[in-house]
Amino acid sequence: MSQNNFLKYYKKLNSEQKEAVNHSEGKLLLVAGAGSGKTSVLTTRIARLINEGVGPEKILAITFTNKAANEMMIRAKNLEPKSAYSTITTFHGLALQLLKKYGEAISLAFPLEVVDPQENKALITKATKKILKSLNFDVKAFNQNFEFKKPLTQQNIVKCIEIILENADMKTFVDEQMFDIYSVSSSYFTDSKFIIEKINTIVKRHDCQTFPNEAINAFFNTQTKVVKNILYFYFQSKNTVDEYGKVNQSILTFEDLQIYLYMLFKANPEIGNEISEKYEYIHVDEYQDTSLLQSELIHELQEVHGNLFIVGDPDQAIYQWRGASIENILTLKEKYPDLIQKELKTNYRSKKEIVNFANTLIKKNVNRIDKLSKANDERQRSNTIVYKKFHNGYGEADHIIDEIKRVSLFDHNYKRFCVMYRNKELSTILERQLFEENIPYRKLNGSNTSINERVEAKEMLAFMTLLINPESVKSYERIANKPAKGITPKLIESIEEESQNSKITFTQAAFKMQEENSSKGLNNFTELISLVQIYSGLLHSSSQESPSEIVFSLAKDSGYLNYNLETMMENLSDRKKLLLLNDFNSFLYLKEEEKVLTAYYLSLLQKYEYDDELQSYNALEILESFVEKQELDDTDGQDSKARETKDNKVTFTTIHSAKGLEFEYIYMIGMEQGIFPKEDAISNAFQGKLQLMEEERNVMYVGITRAMKKLTISHVDERVIYGKKEYYEPSQFIKEMGLEIPQEEGMWNV
């Protein structure tokens, strides 16, 4: 049966794909363009090897994500059930599997535990706080001596150390056998310039403050001991150590797994040889995304048999910022002189015009393997590439929404549509308008999936709920300590207990406890309760004030709105903030500045108040209806049709997160110079440094080649990002694709 499945599928492959599948011994680089069927080739080759008598346990396939590995396994098993006994996994998965078996050889203790970045951050925080306390580190004095842009709080130090550790971890594999953490950290921190450079680039990814070079230099010149001790304790805190210094458990990060596997190969050649002997046929997917360390691991794995089947495309190298090295694939022939190179040129995903424009763009890059893709369907079509120019983001959003509504009018098939952007801040206006139009959407780039799931939205909903029900404990928990007032979760929990024990309401219990034993936190909490009761009474009366005005007043008087402005709009002057806090309409106008979601959420309520169907409702009924609607929307999307199919949503994503996906209709927004390509890529290119610009062009190429049926590219003259209005020129990539920049707003079909 499996033989029949394999042959049936094999016959459907084109000549390029069959040639790659039939490759047996030695090393092969398969340069696979976008949409060329590389996964099909990989899985079919695995099935062919097994059909020809190769033991499935001798086959290894490595990719980068669990999702990709699972997909490859499912497709391979469909062709050949014995593929289930092959190792199809990620770099991290393979490392963990091998370290569990051989880790004792490099003194790893068991059980092994892998922590994610958040857990790792908690360990760093613990280490930092402990060492700062033990050294009597005076943060305030440090701030005064070295004038940072912002006060160097303990939290910022933790952030700084976290960034340092990211890079320190990368250096630890250089020692041949068992590295000494202390000595490694000592030598590592001697190169101040290297650290300064790294921090200045990486700190931006973490959304924390950029420290001036002088301050960083002073930090490392005067506080090396502090940093080294933090590092030392960090590694100690990751392990349980007994009184004799013996490690009883090893806690590893994802990066640690690869480092320790490399150490295993280097420190124990016999074990390395045993591992390499086991895997006779090695497959590596997305090789252009490998780091130097991963490239070395692959080299060690193939050492015995030398059968290496590599798939990759330099044109899709978009992860250099997180350690990937495009040089790995560009210099493969130098590393393996006996390497054979083949290409998959046929794009089965995109229409001819889309493929041609992608080719035109990517040819501008110098550091690539010279190849040009061709569409499987060579028929000429119109309206495949749409180029639009707008004055601002609202016109851009209107066009996209109009088309989505028109195309999906009858079938409500939203999953065909994807909005892509280089900077996630660009999506705000469009996201809000989709939300208002009841068009369901999801976000792939780590952000919350909908507006209602954002922290600020949930907080505004909490204020509204309290006005309706002043006894809502859950709502108090959400907003009571914003800004900080000493109202801890423990305090609220104790009030709940008092309420149950005394058989009185939650708010009555709070006042009762205040009378018996007042505290700062409890006093602040009862003040908030009193405010809620006053404005709740106003809502329930026949007051002329609208629900949105009452919610605004409560949020303002509680201190929340001022707190919100301080945290979200740091660039606003004190005068402007004062105006916004005392002028309801001015505050609502903040929705234009995109960043303050509280203002937008209140504007939604205000808009809802004017709904014709609600004109007979009083203020309380309007607010109850609005809250109920938001809670329903929060559960499973805004559209009844969408609830029938959970994933039937418009996709919002950065281009990086869209890698490996495809959509019928793609809208690539934000094609402005300085946004895409980024400003630092432009400035580097001006100085003759092309690496960043070429990676930006790769990102653009990846975005274009996700489109199957239609690609809409747009730019605007002015855009609001991070609360500031900026004016932009069209992206240079528009001209590089062969598109003419129009003089007036409108649409151009290509």
What are the tens digits of pLDDT across the range 417-447?
999 999 877 888 888 888 888 888 888 865 4
Question: Distance between CA 259 and CA 673 in Å, rounded?
Answer: 39
pLDDT band at 570 (very low <50, low <70, confident <90, very high): low
Q: Residues 302-323: what's their mean pLDDT?
A: 92
- Report the candidate in 279, 307, 242, 280 with the shortest Cα–Cα distance to residue 97: 279
185-194, 260-269, 360-369: which range is least confident on average?
A: 185-194
Using DSSP, state whether 383 is helix, strand or coil: coil
pLDDT (mean) for 498-516: 90
Tell the burial category of 3 from Cβ atoms under 10 Å away from its Cβ (0-12, 13-18, 19+): exposed
% the chain with pLDDT above 90: 40
Where does residue 193 rank: exposed (0-12), middle (13-18), buried (19+ CB within 10 A)? Answer: exposed
* Best CA proximity match to 445, nearest among 465, 468, 419: 419
265 contacts: CB under 8 Å, gap ≥ 6:
271, 272, 275, 297, 300
Both tokens assigned to 289: 């995304």
Task: Name the amino acid, one letter, at 22.
Answer: N
Residues 146-182 as b/e (b if ≥16 CB within 10 A, e otherwise) read bebeeebeeebbbbbbbbbbbebbbebbeeeeebebe
pLDDT beyond 80 at 315? yes
CB 728 within 8 A of CB 717: yes
Between CA 535 and CA 235 the distance in angstroms is 53
Q: What are the phi and psi torsion angles at 533 (to 5°)?
A: -65, -40
Give φ, ψ of 32 to 5 degrees: -110, 110
The mean of the pLDDT values for the chain is: 78
User: Would the pLDDT of 672 be above 70?
Assistant: yes
Q: What is the helix (H) or strand (E) element at residue 387, kind and residue range?
A: strand 385-390
Q: Distance between CA atoms of 123 and 143, rounded to whole angstroms?
A: 24
Burial class (CB in 10 A: 0-12, 13-18, 19+), 244: exposed
C-beta neighbour count of 743 within 10 angstroms = 7
What are the residues whose beta carbons fall under 8 Å from the beta carbon of 38, sequence distance 6 or more?
30, 32, 285, 311, 344
Instruction: Give residue 591's pLDDT band: very low, low, confident or very high (50, 70, 90).
Output: low
| Percentage of the chain exceeding pLDDT 70 | 74
Q: What is the pLDDT of residues 29-50, one digit of tens each?
A: 999 999 999 999 999 999 999 9
Judged against a pLDDT cut of 90, whether residue 277 lies above it is answered with yes
| Tokens encoding 553 | 């007043």
At 62 the pLDDT is: 97
Check the CA dihedral 307-313-319-323 and report its sign: positive
The span from the CA of 697 to the CA of 629, in Å, is 43
Tally the residues of the chain.
750
Cis previous bond, 212, omega within 30: no
Bridge-based pairing state of the strands 385-390 and 746-749: antiparallel
- CA neighbor of 61 nearest in space, from 289, 333, 406, 298: 298
Task: State the residue for tokens 């069959």.
Answer: 18
Q: Alpha helices, DSSP H only, in 666-722?
A: 679-686, 691-704
Computed on alpha carbons and rounded to an integer, the radius of gyration of the chain in Å comes to 29
Q: Facing residues of 90 across strands? A: 63
